[in-house]
Amino acid sequence: MQRDVQDLTRIQKLEMLPRLLSMAAGQTGRLFNAAGLGSPFALSAPTIREYLTLLEQVFLIEQLQPWHSNRLSRLIKTPKLHLADTGLACALLGVTSEALWQDKALLGQLLETFIYQELRKYADWHEQQLRFYHFRNKEKVEVDIIIEQGLKIAGVEIKAAATVTQGDFKGLKKLRDAVGEQFVAGVVFYDGEGVLPFGERLFAVPVGVLVP
């Protein structure tokens, strides 16, 4: 990784990059916060942003941009951070599958990143361009992933649990009601079995559907 970055530009304190990437691994699936990522280092905020840009250029991290609509108010304009590979994230964090089951918050973050990256792979095979976003308002109502194909919109939520309730569809319902007929479907991926209907164009879908 360090050699790849050196080929792009000359930067100082190159040894900071692996540590910064490890910090990013712990923040995957969360709102992007450059100041928070850089707080353990004696570097300025602009320098941290420059380093994070380099990590994006070598495809180690990615920013998922916020979705905007004049039909919804008080939207958060902050992108989400995703690591390019959840296996790399686990290695950087030094966590095993057993440890992940004990840390449900981290499991949820990594599962969200995993599903996002899997959906991006499927999008590469799609005949038409698919654009990816996330949605969150200041009341913390959110949709983890929004997929746009022309005027059509689908929403995806991720839940690291074997059960799903109506409350898990709060953000998807808000999105559906806002965009009307443009809304194709809303899906909550969960760690269970069977596709379950949860109202008009809303479904709970097992994670295993993505990875048979």
Tell me the average pLDDT of the chain: 88
Distances (CA, A) of 10 to 3, 41, 119, 164: 11, 19, 34, 49
Where in the chain are the domains? 2-209
Give the neighbor-by-neighbor strand order of the sheet with 61-64: 30-31, 80-83, 61-64
Q: Is pLDDT above 50 for 7? A: no
User: Tens of pLDDT along 35-91?
Assistant: 788 778 777 777 778 888 888 988 999 999 999 887 777 788 999 999 999 999 999
Coil/strand/helix, residue 160: coil
The first and second tokens of residue 146, run together, are 């929004």
CA distance 29 to 63: 10
User: Tens of pLDDT along 121-144?
Assistant: 989 888 889 999 999 988 889 999
User: Tens of pLDDT along 162-208?
Assistant: 999 999 999 999 999 999 999 999 999 999 999 999 999 999 999 99
Name the pTM for this structure.
0.89
Instruction: Please state whether 140 falls in left (phi above 0), alpha (psi between -120 and 50) or beta.
Output: left
